Amino acid sequence: MRKISLIVYDFDGTLVDTLFDIADSVNLALADLSLSPLPRKTIRKYVGKGVENLMAQALDSTGCTDIPKAVALFKKHYSENLITHTDFYPHGREILEHFKNKKQAICSNKPEEFVRHILQSLNSLQVFDAIIGGDSVKAKKPDPEGLNLIMKQLNVSSDETVLIGDSPVDIETGKQAGVHTCVVNYGLGFAEEIAAAKPDCCIDCLSELKGMFS
């Protein structure tokens, strides 16, 4: 069992299941642009690297190049549909309660406002000591700027920190910051890519964290 002082969670695909609301908002934005909808399984591949990347990939091969407009439309629709289907993954609330005596934080590429609104709606905003979104810092993950800022703000060293994520982006972020990396197998990442990125450990359920960190 590894002793830690700080747990930093990725958001989408790790702590909270947001896929349906993200995908539906992407398709509402595409409809506004008179474009055809995409399957949720396709949009799933685009989640995790920020809103601009999400909509750029959604527009790929459509002939539409107005990414700023697409991003604005997505943000409008998503702000209206943040928690239609969104909720914690199984044992999410339980694990936050279990580690309530540790420092807990969010490091996401999602805009910070959306992260905060979702957590507020789920009555869990107060759990976190720090929240960094993709627009909170100059560089999104896998750049470690946000993660390093969290550790600095909370005065915790890298060897006392674990980053919980669901993708190679999270693993690379953690490695660059020198923290322990743990990947969930149920999220938005793909098994082959996760294995190639070589996380320090992986889990099938958040409840497994209880037996791994103290």
Cβ atoms of 164 and 7 closer than 8 Å: yes
Amino acid symbol at 65? T
3-state secondary structure of 213: strand
DSSP conformation class of 12 = B
Cβ atoms of 63 and 92 closer than 8 Å: no
**Rounded CA gap, 38 and 27, in Å?**
7
Q: Please confirm, yes or no, whether 10 is among the known catalytic residues.
A: yes
DSSP string, 67-86: HHHHHHHHHHHHHHSTTSS-
Cβ atoms of 156 and 6 closer than 8 Å: yes
Query: What is the set of active-site residues?
Result: 10
